[in-house]
Structures are given as structure tokens and as C-alpha cells.
Structure 1
């Protein structure tokens, strides 16, 4: 009986609808393949030899498997120090970003906050106008004296106006009855924020947190400006120096690279890309289920 009801309620699709659906599946599959292939090529090239990279313009599987590029990257251990520094910068920086963004977004999302419109307009202005690189450098180095400290990477970008507005819009979409009921039960604003609002906002917090984390992990220019201590350089700086030295390594006759020869600079660049990309890619699967929902809801509500 249940099977008969389900068949009766099943929507019958015309041949045209089925054809369009097949086309959509084919398009999505082709788009996914086109997106993945460049990463596969970079990964394959990082394990290739100089001869193969020179002779072949494109391949997905190296003929001769070589780890010389990775051996060159890790030979002095600086890459591991850079990875540790980047993990520290990303973890602490993301925490600061999320703390600043959520604590500003919550009062601006409250309809009973008197100055919410004025402060929101001030935040929006920062998205349109900026002081520029030179004033920022003078502020960080000469006034705040943050050179060769990670605070130079954290404080100037402690909050993103765009991400804060996304969180604010999400907060505005939460049921007001939950806050009113919590107030009736005697909960303070801080308790409501920590135990009601934040637990219900996991999708947008995960999405915005990923934005902040990727930004810190890929941060290169600010660290180049403010960090010149060898022990404090992040992985992007270390990889840049590795790639610059790779061209000289090809002519280094004192280094024994085995039967495959010295790693070409192109293979080192590809290996550097893999090393810099894989750690942050490992984070995405854990928050994938929150990502689309958090961005879309936070962008359209309010």
C-alpha cells in the first residue's frame, strides 16, 4: 500500500525535463573535472623530473617518480618552522577575527541598540575608503612598534567589515522569541550571546572562520613588510625563498640528487604549491556542511 502511494505521489517528468537534468549533470561533471585537473597536474609535476617537465607540456602521471623537489624543500628544516609559524598565525589570528567580528555584530543586530545605524554606516565607510599602504606601515612600525611581531599581522586586519556584516545579518535572522524567553528566565545579554546566539550560528561562524583562516594562511605581503626575523617567517615567505634558491640548485655540483638529477625550478614551484595548499584544504571537509548554508543565509537575511 505504501509503495502504491509513493508511486502515485511521485512527480512524472517529461522527456524534456529529463534531458535538461542530464545536461546539468554533464555540465557539473565537466566543471568539476576542469577544476580538479590543474591541481592534479601540479601534484604530478611536483614528483616529475626535469626532463619530463621540459619535454611534456601536460601530464597527470609522471613517467619517472622523483621526490627531489620535496627533498630540496625540506633539506634545511626551514619549511617545518614556517609551517609551525603559519599555524600559529592562522589559529590566533582567526580567533581574534572571530572574537572582534561576533562581539561587534551582535549589538548591531539588536533592534534596541540606539546607535546601531550610525556605527553600521561607519563600518561600511571603511569598505569604500582606506588610508593606504604607507600610512599603514608608518602606524604599525613607527607608532605601534610592532615590527617583527605577529601582532603586526593580527591587529591591522583584526576585523573584516564584509565578514562582520554577514554575521550581523545572520544574527538578525534568528528568532527574537529565543532572546525574549531567555531574558524572562533571567539570562543576561552576555549569557544569551554565549549560550543562545553563538550555538545557533554555527553555519555562519564556520563559513566566516574559514574565510579568515584562509586569509591568514595565504598572507604574504604583510609578513614580507613587517617580518624579517628568520625564526618568525611564515610558510609563504619560506617557500618564496626556496623557489628563488631552486634556480641556483640546478647548477650545484656538490649536491648529490641521485639518478634523477637536481630538481628543476618548475618542480620546486609545484611542490611548494602543494605544501602551501594541502594543510588548509584539510580543514574544509570538517566545515563543508556549514559552508553553503552559512554564507547564503547570512547574505540574504536582514
Structure 2
């Protein structure tokens, strides 16, 4: 058995201290934002951000959840689009990536080329809007928040390279036993691809969870507003209200100030919760899937 020398123990101690210090530095902005979300707005304006809550105030959260039904509805829309989008993304991406690794597929190099071209060029905003609203008729439809972002060339690139890194002997032996490509895909390839599936699933989940631009373009029905779009509108309305209040109006309200800073950090805390909770469960797959998918050619 190898015994650690004094130098080894010292080096490990330095590594642990460095990692812990780096983790605390990364968590510091999150903690400051959390403390600011519970701090009185005037206190934030006078003294700025702090590590501790000097004057506890729930006004920002009360304003966010004043229309609780709309907030909860936006949460449900975001959760539905995120779950549905991740499932569709993984299915479409793996369904395109796996055939591109099969040497017997005709024109696979041309298909690969056209797939990668989409990483560099796109049709532009106006053609996309016309296609989505007039041809696909997805205006004010929840599917417009799911389908357009379900497939992109970068994810196909990562997953194709990961599939290529798997031993070819697995699929060849299965073919000798009479297995079809679909059987190999579902029963052999996908079960061995948990790291890359988790990695792309996390990427797509973050994209769907933070979606607001498509809502701005294609959604007018308030029942289909996502959480991020609702938060953006809430922040804009709070800033407009705060800037438009006259001195007489402030005096009539007892000098009250609309907590624009508090709303900004409070909405950040409300919106990042599920993603922060999801990441630890996928972390063990994330690094492996990303490195193997990106490096292996």
C-alpha cells in the first residue's frame, strides 16, 4: 500500500483549500443577491449590497406574488415546456446523431455537412417569423415554445461524437445475432449514453427554462406566458412606475418606493431555483459527456 508522504498531504491540503475557496467565491454573488432580495429598498439605495440583511423586508416578494395565479400559471407553462422540450430534444438529437455514425448509411457525410451548416447560418428573424406564424400556424400555441428549439447542430455534433466513441464491437455482435439498427439504438446505444444524454438534457433544460424571446415574438395570450417573460414584464412595469411617480404621489404614498432593485434580485431567486436543484443530480454525468462528446472524433 502506498503511504502518503508529508509533501503529498500538504499538496492535498492546498488543493482542498483552493477548491473550497473557489466554491465560496462562486456562491458569494448568489448569497448577496439572496440577502438583497429580503432587504428594504431604501437600505439598498443608501448602503448598497451587503452580506447580511440589515432591514428585513418582503415587499419585493409580495409584489411578485400579488397576482399569484399568473405567476403559478407561468411556472406551470415553463415546467411543461421544459420537460416536453428536453424529451423532444433528446429524442430528435439522438435519432439524427446515431444514423450519422453508421457507416452503411448512404449520403451520411452530406447529411452531416448540412447539419453542421445550421450552426453557422440561419434564415433570419423575419423569415422565421413568417414561417412560424403563417405557414406552421403556431402563433399563440404552446408548441412554438417547444418545437423550434428542439434540434440544433451543436447538440448533434456532441452526441454523434459520443456515439462514435462507443466500441463498434457492441453493434457488430448484435447484428450478427440478428438485431436491427432500431433495436441496437434503443437497447444498446441509448443505455450506454447516459453521460451525453444528461449533458444535452441539461443544456436544453436551461434554454427552455430561460426562454422569453419566443414569447415576445409569438405569444399574445397571457395564459401562455413563461416565467422569464412574466418576470421581465414585471421588472419593466416596476421601473416605469417608480420613474413616473411624482413627488406629490410619493408623499401621498408615505414616501414609499417601488423596490425595483429588490424585484430584480427576488425574481432571480424565484427563477433559478429548479435549475440549481437539478444540476447536482446531473453533475456526475455532465463532465464526462461534455469532454468525450467534444474531443472524440
Same fold by TM-score greater than 0.5: yes
Contact 2:118–2:152 (CA under 8 A) maintained in structure 1: no
In structure 1, list runs of 5 or more residues that go unmatched: 1-5
Structure 1: distance between partners of 2:257 and 2:48: 20
Matched, 1:28 2:19: yes
Matched, 1:271 2:250: no
Residue number in structure 2 paired with 1:65 = 56
SS of the aligned residue for 1:283 comes to helix
SS of the aligned residue for 1:128 comes to coil
- 1:2-13 alignment runs, 5 A limit: 6=1, 9-10=2-3, 12=5
Residue correspondences, number: 290
- 1:175-254 alignment runs, 5 A limit: 175-247=167-239, 248=241
Structure 1: distance between partners of 2:169 and 2:14: 45
Structure 2: distance between partners of 1:218 and 1:12: 49
SS of the aligned residue for 1:80 comes to helix
Shift of 1:225: 0.5
Structure 2: distance between partners of 1:102 and 1:137: 27
**TM-score (structure 1 length as normaliser):** 0.88
Residue number in structure 2 paired with 1:296 = 291
Residue number in structure 1 paired with 2:148 = 156
Which sits farther off after the overlay, 171-180 or 25-34? 25-34
Shift of 1:143: 1.8
SS of the aligned residue for 1:159 comes to coil
Structure 1: distance between partners of 2:167 and 2:147: 33
Residue number in structure 2 paired with 1:129 = 121
Matched, 1:49 2:44: no
